Chain A
Amino acid sequence: MAEHALTTWESQDLRDRILERLLDAEGDWVSGAELSAITGVSRTAVWKHIQTLEELGFTVEAVRHRGYRLTHVPDIVLEPLLRRRLPAGCALGRRVLYAPVIGSTNATLAHLAQSPALPHGTVLAAGTQTGGRGRRGRSWFSPDTGLWFSVLIRRQIPLSRAAEITLLASVAVRRAILRQTDAPVQIKWPNDLLMDERKVCGILAELRADGEEVQHVVLGIGINANVPHEAFPDELANIATSILAASGRPVHRTQLAADVLRELEPMVEALAMGGAGFAAVIDEWRSACHTLGRDIRVQTPGGLVEGFAIDISPDGRLLVRTHTGERLSIPSGEVLF
């Protein structure tokens, strides 16, 4: 597939530099000659990138002898738009690739990550995923009203602590959502986010290790941001929701993505520095947890476990007391609704 070659993404750099200049002008005119000089391509090539921006949802006014100016900016995760919302020096999100339609951001970023040239913090975002994936190959409904992105984490993290990343991500996403809404957001072990007891965000990471150390992690985050309630297919209607549906108000998706990255950055750095990872936010996770303190059923590799969810361990295991009084520490499984 063409999207799997890093070179096919390179023209985004020129488009983003043009967009950067137009955004800097804050609605004022920028001449074609200047855009041509900045990018080092012909004015005809500049015009083609302007057309690409319009296809992505921007409105660009073009007038002979004056140049171009932006009159509408869409809420999509392009590098210049995301970076404006990130703190200076934030490594996560310093490079952003965007595809209006893609198979799966995780699959494509995992493939691109085979090139060591792709830096730590690279984000691949998509408008729509045609083959969005959940756990164990389950499909993930990904219409163009959601927020679908993957982050490349290329830091020296011991493999024994890598699983903390998905737990930390759940805390980061929850904080990011709460910056835009007052509606409660809960966490279902290990890292699903719920609003109104329905899934609003899924997190799935793919890892490659080098011996006992992480080579890279592709962290996939799918948030049903502004998906209208009626858009969910029947089989999801009772188990999925969106921030829009649960809170009644749409969210700014690029801001949401920036807030997730801003929250996640220090957590990942702490892991890389050997500091407290999940342990540092475990109380926050506990207080937001939907799973703890109630009778639950967990599908585990060893079979169905029924019991009372007591706690989570600092390395993320779910501690369950079964009805027969046995205490189990579950590293892998799925809590059934």
Chain B
Amino acid sequence: MLKIGEIRELIRLLDETNLSEIRIETDDMKLHLKKPEPRVAEVAPSQVMIPVSSPASVSMPAVPAPAQAATEAPTPAQTSANAPTPAAEDAGNYHLVKSPMVGTFYRAPAPDAPPYVEVGSRVTEKTVVCIVEAMKLMNEIEAEVSGEVVEILAENGQLVEYGQPLFKIKLA
């Protein structure tokens, strides 16, 4: 019978190679190790996520993507065909939090309180990132995605329009 250390060694072998499964059968045991999915599949989730969260409030920034692609182009093609190109990954990895209504944009619950989030803050779907106020109705805006705030696109205390981008969030 194989020892735990030997099984661990086999798992590592499976992990580090292109093998998708290993079967070993002896008189007293059967061992079957199998990778859940081919590696190609790992690319998919981050790309699929883009439109799912909220179609109305997601946009793909057009400018950064080509810029990234250009800088990456001269480097040797070391990534496998299965991996996402950096450009595609970049475009899909941001979420814009947009104002759902016309009103005043506030970054903090009160003038003397710290802002809900800063650039660099980690957020989850339910994290409140700001308030948009109209007629003393305080709309607490949630991030809608998990990730990191990379840019704040509106000025505290200013009037924002319906659909105006407020935050840029890098998806986790």
- What is the number of contacts between chain A and chain B, taking CB atoms within 8 Å? 78
Task: Please tell me if B73 contacts chain A, counting CB pairs below 8 Å.
Answer: no
Instruction: Tell me the bound Cα distance from A212 to B101 in angstroms.
Output: 9
- For chain B, the bracket of interface size reads 20 to 34
Cβ proximity bits A199-236 to B, threshold 8 Å, 1 near / 0 not: 00001111111011000010000000000000000000
Bound: A162/B54 CA distance, A:
20
Q: In this assembly, does B4 line the interface, its C-beta being within 8 Å of a C-beta of chain A?
A: no
Q: Does A116 contact B (CB under 8 A)?
A: no
One digit per residue, 1 when the CB lies within 8 angstroms of any chain B CB and 0 when it does not, for chain A 299-312 equals: 01110000000000
**25 A–B contact pairs at CB < 8 A?**
A135-B136, A136-B106, A136-B110, A137-B110, A137-B113, A159-B139, A160-B101, A162-B101, A166-B135, A167-B135, A191-B135, A204-B136, A204-B138, A205-B138, A207-B139, A207-B140, A217-B137, A300-B159, A301-B158, A301-B159, A302-B159, A316-B135, A332-B103, A332-B133, A332-B135
Q: Which residues of A contact B111 (CB under 8 A)?
A: 136-137
Which residues of chain B (51-101) have a CB below 8 Å from chain A?
54, 56-57, 100-101
Q: Is the CB of A212 within 8 A of B56?
A: yes
Most buried by A among B113, B133, B135: B135
Query: Is A314 interfacial (CB-CB < 8 Å)?
Result: no
User: Main secondary structure on chain A at its contact with chain B?
Assistant: mixed
- Given the interface contacts A301-B104, A331-B102, does A163 sit within 8 Å of B159 by beta carbon? no
- Point out the residues of chain B lying under 8 angstroms from A333, CB to CB: 104
A167–B137 alpha-carbon span in the complex (Å)? 10
- Given contact pairs A137-B113, A211-B56, a sample of 6 additional A-B residue pairs in the complex whose CB atoms are under 8 Å apart: A137-B109, A205-B136, A207-B137, A301-B104, A331-B135, A332-B104
**What's the nearest-Cβ distance from chain B to residue A113, in Å?**
11
Q: Of the candidates A138, A205, A300, which one forms a contact with B137 in the assembled complex, judged by CB atoms under 8 Å apart?
A: A205
Q: Which of B54, B100, B137, B142 contacts A165 (CB 8 A)?
A: B137
**Bound Cα distance A165, B137 (Å):** 8
B103 x A331 contact (CB < 8 A): yes
- The 6 A-B residue pairs with the shortest CB-CB distance, nearest first, are A137-B110, A190-B135, A301-B159, A332-B104, A163-B135, A301-B104
Set of chain B residues within 8 Å of A159, measured between Cβ atoms: 100-101, 139
Which residues of chain A come closer than 8 Å to B133, judged between CB atoms?
Answer: 332
Whether B138 contacts A207 by the Cβ 8 Å rule is yes
- How far apart are the CA atoms of A203 and B104 in the complex, in Å? 17
A266 to B100, CA, bound (A): 26
Residue contact B136 to A190, C-beta cutoff 8 Å: yes
B72 to chain A, nearest CB (A): 35
How many angstroms from the CA of A159 to the CA of B142 in the assembled complex?
Answer: 14
Bound-complex Cα distance A212 to B100 (A): 7
B140 neighbours in A (Cβ, 8 Å): 206-208
Using Cβ atoms and an 8 Å threshold, which residues of chain B touch A212? 56, 100
Measured CA separation A165–B134 after assembly (Å): 11
Contacts of B113 in A (CB 8 A): 137
Looking at the assembled complex, report how far the CB atom of A294 sits from the nearest CB atom of chain B, in whole angstroms.
20
Q: Which of B97-123 contact A (CB under 8 A)?
A: 100-106, 109-113
Cα of A160 to Cα of B163 in the assembled complex, Å: 12
Q: Taking CB as reference atom, which chain B residue is nearest A138?
A: B110
Digitize A144-176: 1 where CB-to-B-CB distance is under 8 Å, 0 elsewhere. 000000000000000110110111000000000
Choose among B103, B105, B140, B142 the residue with the greatest number of A CB atoms under 10 Å from its CB. B140
CA distance A205 to B133 in the complex (A): 10
